[in-house]
Amino acid sequence: MATYPFWLGGIAASMAACFTHPLDLTKVRMQTLGPSVPRPSMLATIGTSLSENGLRSIYTGLSASLLRQMTYSLVRIGSYEELKRRMSAKGKPSTGKLLLAAGVTGGLGGIAGNPADIVLVRMTSDSLRPLEKRYGYRNALTGLVSLVKNEGIKGLSRGLGTNAVRAVLMNTSQVGSYDFFKMTLLRHRIPLVNYQFHDGFFLHVVASLAAGTCGTTVCSPVDVIRTRIMGSSGKASPFQVLVRSLREEGPMFVFKGWTPAFMRLGPNTVLMFVFFEQLKRGRSYFAQS
């Protein structure tokens, strides 16, 4: 199995984030709103963002998004690819082993990307706060400095438990399932049309779209709780947030923002894996030249 630079996945994820960041911003803002605020639609939320400062406003927090991808995604994808390469040296790994590897490496990515995640959530939801309670981060780096200055080193671990759980679920249901869907589609013909997939662009798009749908649904409950903890300056635990939200909003709160989450994660997953596959092929081509 060919080896690739550890950082290649981070580059692919960053490229994808440049296209899907406006949808990420919309998802965070919808998840942050509590029960006292009428629930806006995805289009209404985007419209409100555009009315703030035009196109520039929907890219608020892009620097934090890129920092997140170059920590969280770089570690989770790079570590997963390395584990997969080592397991493949002893024979074709089973689906169970691949999913386990994806879960472990997802947890590592969640830990690595937690500080950037906090800054991202705060930057993208800051306009929803009263003026006197806004964080006012200019970019990701000043946000990190301000976070440490005001909340100490411990502030970097805000929501870490929830974020790590989400990262485990995300990497398993997104990266792990991508390999599962890709291998399954390669092994079987599509009935009725009798179509056989080959390892190429169309396969990568279909497998990654299925992985994005799986990842959005599995991670939605943890994602909502994580967003509310990171966006707050209080000290409520994940359990307290869960209980309060269930009492005030009912069980369906766990799928708040599912549509923009899918609208962001679906294209993001497709772009990330398509970019990743092309970057791998490009590196292999130049290595052989």
Residues ≥6 apart with Cβ < 8 Å to 156:
114, 115, 118, 144, 147, 148
**Dihedral, 169, 173, 174, 180 alpha carbons, nearest 10:** 150
Residue 3 domain flag: no
Residue 142 domain flag: yes
Instruction: Please provide the average confidence, as pLDDT, over all residues in the chain.
Output: 86
**Dihedral, 82, 85, 90, 96 alpha carbons, nearest 10:** 80
> What pLDDT does 244 receive?
84
> What pLDDT does 255 receive?
80
| Confidence check: pLDDT of 36 > 60 | no
Confidence of residue 53 (pLDDT cuts 50, 70, 90): low
Residue 1 domain flag: no
| Confidence check: pLDDT of 235 > 90 | no
> How many CB atoms sit inside 10 A of residue 148's CB?
14
Q: Which residue has the higher pLDDT, 95 or 80?
A: 80
Residue length, the chain? 289
| Confidence check: pLDDT of 49 > 60 | yes
> What pLDDT does 110 receive?
96
Confidence of residue 233 (pLDDT cuts 50, 70, 90): low
Residues ≥6 apart with Cβ < 8 Å to 98:
84, 87, 176, 179, 180
Confidence of residue 284 (pLDDT cuts 50, 70, 90): low
Query: Reduced to 3 DSSP states, what percent helix, strand and coil does the chain have, rounded to the nearest 5?
Result: 80, 0, 20
CATH value at residue 227: 1.50.40.10
> What pLDDT does 38 receive?
58
Rank 26-40, 42-56, 147-161, 189-203 by mean pLDDT and report only the highest. 147-161
Domain count of the fold of the chain: 1
Least reliable range by pLDDT among 91-100, 106-115, 127-136, 249-258: 249-258
Domain that holds residue 133: 8-288
Residue 145 domain flag: yes
Confirm whether pTM is higher than 0.75: yes
Question: Is 180 within 8 Å of 134 (Cβ atoms)?
Answer: no
In this structure, what token pair is assigned to residue 80?
A: 């997963």
Residue 74 domain flag: yes
In this structure, what token pair is assigned to residue 134?
A: 């806004």
| Confidence check: pLDDT of 84 > 70 | yes
Read off φ and ψ for residue 41, nearest 5 degrees.
Answer: -75, 170
> How many CB atoms sit inside 10 A of residue 186's CB?
13
Confidence of residue 257 (pLDDT cuts 50, 70, 90): confident
Residues ≥6 apart with Cβ < 8 Å to 233:
151
